[in-house]
Amino acid sequence: MFLLLVLTGLLVGGYFLLIQTLFRRSKCTGTTEMTGKTVIVTGGNSGIGKATARHLARRGARVVLACRSRGRAEAAISEIKQETSRSDVVFMQLDLGSLKSVRSFAENFLKTESRLDLLINNAGLVADGRTEDGFGVEFGVNHLGHFLLTRLLLQRLQDGGGGRVVTLSSMAHRWGRIDFQALAASGHLGTGRHSWQFFRAYCSSKLCNVLFTQELARRLEGSAVTCYSVHPGIVRTELSRHVSLWQKVFIEPVARLLFLDPEAGAQTTLHCALQEGLEPLSGRYFSCCAEQEVGAAAKDAAAARRLWDVSEKLCGL
C-alpha cells in the first residue's frame, strides 16, 4: 500500500512538473490593431494555423489561408467566419512541396493583393519522401518552400513600411544538424525508411527555420520589416499524420493527457505577430511568449549565411 502511494505521488508530481515546464501554457497579450491589414498563414486550414488565422480574423485582419487542399481550406474558412463574424478570410492555392506552386502563389498574391503586413510560415510536417522537385520532403516543405515564399513576398512587406515574418520552428532544432554535402549531393537533410531517421531530418529542418530567421534579420537590418522564429509548444496537431499506426497508438494517449491544444499552441505565434515593441528582437527565437536561448548549432552565423546561399541556388534565385 505504501509503495502504491509513493508511486501515485511520483506520477502525479511528474505530471504537474511536466505541465509547468515542457508543456507549459502561455498567453499572448499583444494589442496591435489589425483592421485593414493583410496576413498570410501557410497551412491555415488546421491546427495551430487555423487557431492563428481565427485570432487574426477576429482582430479585423484580412486573412489569406495559403493551403494545398481547397476543400479543407474552404471548410476552415467557413468555420472561422462563423466563429468570428468576419468575412474577409480567403483561400489561395499553395503547395510548399512544389517550387512552381510557390512561385504561382506569389505571382497570384502580388497581382490581387495590394499589401502584406504579416507572413506566418506555419505549415510543416514529419514524413519521409521527396517533393515534386526532388528534395527531401521535410527540407523542401518545412524550409525551402517557406524560404522561397518569403523571398518572393519580401518586397511587398517592405513596400508597406513595415511588417513581420513569423516562422514556426521547434525545440527539436536543438537536435538538428545540417550536412551541406548531403544537401548539395541529393537535396535532403537525412533519409531512410525508419521513423527515427526522418524525425532526425525533421529536427534538422527546424534548425533551418531558426538559421533562416537569423540570417533574414541580418539582411533586413535597417528596414522596418522584422522576423521571429517560434517554438509553439508540444501541440496536438496533424503534424505527425504520416507516421506509422503503432506510433499513433503510442502517441495519442500521451497527447490527450499532456499536449497543448492548437489554441494554446498558437499563443507564441500571436505574440510575435502582435506584441508591441518586439522590433529590437528581430531574428530571435521565442517560446511561451518570451525570447529563449537557441541550441548550440543555431548560434553558427556562418552556417546561417551558407544555408541562405544554398537555398537561393536550389530555388534558382
Residues labelled catalytic:
202
Contact 226, 279 (CB under 8 A): yes
Phi and psi torsions of 127, nearest 5°: -165, 170
| 253 phi/psi in degrees, rounded to 5 | -60, -40
CB 36 within 8 A of CB 115: no
Tell me the three cell numbers of residue 50. Answer: 487555423
Edge-first strand listing for the sheet containing 38-42: 89-93, 62-67, 38-42, 118-121, 163-168, 225-231, 285-287, 290-292
Report yes or no: 51 and 237 within 8 Å, Cβ to Cβ.
no
Q: Identify residue 106 by its one-letter amino acid code.
A: A
Q: Rounded to an integer, what distance in angstroms lies between the CA atom of residue 123 and that of residue 221? A: 26
**How distant is the alpha carbon of residue 267 from its chain centre?**
13
Q: Please give the Cα distance from 275 to 90 (Å, whole number).
A: 25
Task: Specify the residue for cell string 485582419.
Answer: 61
**Alpha-carbon distances, residue 85 vs 49, 82, 128, 143, 156 (angstroms):** 18, 5, 39, 34, 28
The H-or-E segment that residue 311 falls in is helix 301-315
Please tell me whether residue 253 adopts helix, strand or coil conformation: helix
Neighbouring-strand partners of residue 34: none
Q: Which cell goes with 234?
A: 508540444
